[in-house]
A and B are shown apart, each in its own frame.
Chain A
Amino acid sequence: MTHTSTVPAPPVSRAASLGRRLRGPAVFVALLAAALLVVPVVLEPFRLNLLAQYLCYAIVALGIALAWGRGGMLTLGHGVYFGLGAYAMAMHLTLARAAQDPLDPDGLPSFMVWSGLSELPWFWVPFASPAVAVVAAVLVPGAVAALLGWSVFRQRVRGAYFAILNQALAAAFVLLLVGQQHLTGGSNGLTDFPVFAGHSLYTPTAQTTLYVLTVLVLAGLYLLLRHITRSRFGTLLIAIRDGEDRVRHLGYDPTWAKTLAYALSAMAAGIGGALFVPIMGIISPSLIGVIPSIMMVLAVAIGGRYSLAGAALGAVLMNAAQTTFSEHFAGTWTYLQGALFVVVIALAPAGLAGLAGQVRQALHHRRAHVTHTSHGSPR
């Protein structure tokens, strides 16, 4: 029995290996079916709405897992990209409301009227179209991230400098939004969104539809990013994370690869933000600044930054915990989160997903051990 480790593991039968290969897809389909068919029936509308909000953050988390977990880019400013997506959608919803408002024949949002504007600012005009808003919610974050990423990655800015730069971006974005009240709604943000493309958003059906849409987007994005992480590009990202300079001497330019991963991750955040707005009913600078940006990364750290599923789960759990705890002891929750972050980074850098993997491995070893004993004892 002392030689267990030197004995080669028994060959895995083809059926067993097929079974293992099908387990992932089976879990995925089961989860998706439950989310689409069971959850909307059993949860009351208020809870369903909360869950839909968490899932928006899960979409953001997938993107962070790609950029940070795979590519090693500590993106501490994803609130900006979430915000760009959210504001793109909110601007359209605000215009849609104003267009309906019988008291306001010009279609000018009321906060602009109070600020003394008599005409819609030029960059608001295209957002009257829902299609423009949806496209912009994805492309604007992508373009901003691509521009920023390309210019800093080219200069070989990375690590803590990149993280701080992201934080500064989040702080500057909030200052801009608050300072330009007549254009952005200031610190109040934008709120009250009754219609989208002619449909009321205040009905239970609309909210269920939004929930279903969010689940589908999350599932689709998960599959897309899973494909990307399994391609050679995914391997390249890990290599860049672990040794950017070495990668250059393999014949690759890390700049474009990092820029692409960062931009994709920003686009995911934009999509999350755009879905969040009609679900939550408000977007304001306080939801997208420095602290929310850190919280987005924190959730991914806790769920497991190396695992897409772990990151998404982390976002749902952390936001659910936030709701629960802040209802009861608001102040303590912030400290608890900070403590949790330290514990995870120190003891379980791979997060919950990493712990789950360790448990699975331990069980596997035990099983192999037991099999071996039963074979070995008669001899």
Chain B
Amino acid sequence: MSLLTIDDLTVTFGDFTALDHVTLSLDEGDLLFLIGPNGAGKTTLIDTITGRTRPTSGTLTFDGRPLHGMAEHHIVRAGIGRTFQTSVVFEHLTVADNVDLAASHHLRPWQLLRRRRALPEAVTHILERVGLTERLHDRAGTLSHGQRQWLEIAMLLAQRPRLLLLDEPVAGMNTDERTRTGELLTEIATDHTIIVIEHDMDFLRRYAHQVVVLHEGAVLTRGDLATVQSDPRVQEVYLGRTPSEATT
């Protein structure tokens, strides 16, 4: 059964059409890579799914429920989590507090006001999984670029979402960090549904199975990487260059 259904979605900013009649559906357990040149509307698509941007027309359905008009925090509670292209963490809070806060959104106000004891096991477990245990008590502002992106993934996991939307999770990472992130993604994908925006060709080759190409707000094609790459329309969009050359 389809977990997320996007039907005829259009988003305009003034005269500009950022998403143009996008129709896309995602089954439980899918790992979908979303690529396309800069300005194609990839981030706008995630923004619209998560309630940050309102659709101009069209519908979004998650797990049988329409997402229309839902506030951002209700969408998170319904089971959709995201990261941001410019990883946004709370720099003045410790690494542990960032993740703990993400893990606590289901608590009632009076529970949030209670005295805090040791870190919940789930939080320490997630920090271990992304390899940040040693930085537990450090302020998030002191993390390296790559570590910040892992922290954001940790915060995302702590929310226990069913659908994860990752906006360029390996941008700016070095080769080792990319490999670690790719492995982490593969591992998470075994029991989650994921959309990843990423256009690093090498990364795609290693980890991508299903790819959707977005161009000027419209879905150009969908298929496995080899099929998508050999599609003449895709090559034209990237002006004969490989996606990794055409972006960044």
A residues near B (Cβ < 8 Å) are 227-228, 230-233, 235-236, 238-239, 242-243, 245-246, 248-253, 256-257, 260
Contact = CB atoms under 8 A, between A and B. Distances in A.
Given A246-B88, A249-B82, A250-B101, A233 B109 contact: yes
Of A239, A242, A250, chain B has the most CB atoms within 10 Å of the CB of A250
A235 B100 contact: yes
21 contacts: A227-B115, A231-B112, A231-B113, A231-B116, A232-B111, A233-B112, A238-B90, A238-B92, A238-B93, A239-B93, A242-B92, A243-B90, A246-B84, A249-B81, A250-B73, A250-B101, A250-B102, A250-B159, A252-B73, A253-B71, A257-B109
- Size class of the contact patch on chain B: 20 to 34
Given A248-B71, A250-B76, A250-B159, A235 B93 contact: yes
Contacts of B92: 238, 242
A256 B82 CA distance: 23
Given A249-B52, A252-B73, 13 more contacts: A231-B113, A232-B116, A235-B100, A238-B92, A239-B90, A242-B91, A249-B82, A250-B102, A251-B105, A251-B159, A253-B73, A256-B109, A260-B109
Nearest to A230: B116
By DSSP majority rule, is chain B's interface helix, strand, loop, or mixed? Answer: loop
B48 to A, nearest CB: 13
Contacts of B93: 235, 238-239
A233 B107 CA distance: 10
B77 A251 contact: yes
A67 to B, nearest CB: 16
B88 A235 contact: no
A243 B141 CA distance: 14
Given A249-B52, A252-B105, A231 B114 contact: yes
A112 B81 CA distance: 62
Given A250-B76, A253-B73, A228 B113 contact: yes
Contacts of A246: 84, 88, 90
Interface of B: 50, 52, 71-73, 76-77, 81-82, 84, 88, 90-93, 97, 100-102, 104-107, 109, 111-116, 155, 159
Contacts of A251: 73, 76-77, 102, 105-106, 159
A259 to B, nearest CB: 11
Contacts of A253: 71, 73
A231 B90 contact: no
A249 B107 CA distance: 15
Contacts of B71: 248, 253
Contact of B90 (A232, A242, A248, A252): A242
Contacts of A260: 109
B105 A231 contact: no
Given A231-B116, A232-B112, A248 B104 contact: no
Contacts of B101: 232, 235-236, 239, 250
Contacts of B73: 248-253
Contacts of B112: 231-233, 236
B130 to A, nearest CB: 17
B57 to A, nearest CB: 24
Contacts of A227: 115
A153 to B, nearest CB: 13
Contacts of B111: 232
Of A230, A245, A251, A252, chain B has the most CB atoms within 10 Å of the CB of A251
